[in-house]
Amino acid sequence: MKIIIENHIPFIHGIFDAVADVVYLPSDQITAEVMKDADALITRTRTRCNEALLTGSKCRFIATATIGTDHIDLDYCHKAGITVVSAPGCNAPAVAQYVLTSIYHTVGDFCGHCLGVVGVGHVGSIVARWAEGLGMKVLRNDPIREENEGGDEFVSLAQIAGQCDIITFHTPHTLTGKYPTHHLADGKFFNSLIRKPVVINSARGPIVDTPMLIEALKEGKVSKTIIDCWEGEPSISTELLSMASIATPHIAGYSYEGKVRATIAVAEALAKHFSLNVRLTTEKPADAPDTVTLQELLSSYNPQVDTDNLKRNPEKFETLRNEYDFRHEPKV
């Protein structure tokens, strides 16, 4: 069998080489011609897995070493009989690390601030739990979970807009369904803000309407912003870049441990799907701890370094991302 693997996926080289014909390629070289005789694809977010790429291909399995699948046409894959797997939760501790260290570097402390967490899945739940342990009041917004679970744990987006000093987004990017998230933070949202909050996007770029965020910053409706995920990546808004307090090249989840978890998840899924006997070369890291201390958090990461690199070299967005020196998650 033949497997196409995006060459920037860490820790995956060699896992399948003894049991399959493996071709490692950069994302821009994974084309329809390449995919014609491929049985499987392991990729990241830059490869658009859709009819244009896959029509006429014998591919029946796609794994993305990421938590999101918005780069994959799931409807097309389902109709074409292509199994799709992702790695949900793999980088959740790393994103929580990024969000909370970025908050500290932006506002100076945690106590006395109200944090609004929009989207309380794998990532948002850790952000909320760690933030409460560090002394923040946390409001949670997740209409899907609220609808499915009930209870009084969740609040409306309007309550988040009215009561929070810091608002962080952790939803997938969706265009359809009952609760689409495309431009969830739009002009109407920014106009409803009361406390001139810090706004954070480390989820997906299009969740935030970039021109509306820039206008909100200029008008003082948003005091500061922390951006890791950008609309139009890698061609990001240089105006928003110049205004952002923390600005990074989509690396919030780029921890050593997170990358190991993702690679193990997709490798195990592919091996199981095709009944391949492979040996993993790394052990799965521990799950996120219940809490972290301020010292553990701040000693593990300084987002200002990555911010300085991107602000100096915005044209190198993709290079900074692909050649990122994976940090370690907080040690507890």
> Cα(259)–Cα(4) distance, rounded to whole angstroms?
19
Could you tell me how many residues make up the chain? 332
Q: Is 239 a catalytic residue?
A: no
> Cα(222)–Cα(230) distance, rounded to whole angstroms?
17
- Catalytic option among 233, 268, 296, 328: 233
Cis peptide bond upstream of 234, omega within 30: yes
Cα→Cα distances 161→103, 152, 168, 199, 200, Å: 17, 18, 11, 10, 13
- Catalytic option among 46, 250, 261, 321: 250
> Cα(185)–Cα(118) distance, rounded to whole angstroms?
10
> Cα(141)–Cα(205) distance, rounded to whole angstroms?
19
- Catalytic option among 122, 140, 204, 327: 204
> Cα(288)–Cα(93) distance, rounded to whole angstroms?
6
What's the CA angle centered on 165, arms 224 and 174, to 5 degrees? Answer: 75
Q: Is 204 a catalytic residue?
A: yes
Q: What sign does the CA torsion over 264, 265, 270, 275 have?
A: positive
Q: Is 173 a catalytic residue?
A: no
Residue-wise DSSP of 4-71: EEETT-TT-TTSSTTTSEEEEE-GGG--HHHHTT-SEEEE-TTS-BSHHHHTT----EEEESSS--TT
Lookup result for tokens 């201390």: 293
Burial of 70 (0-12, 13-18, 19+ CB in 10 A): middle
Q: So which residues are the catalytic ones?
A: 204, 233, 250
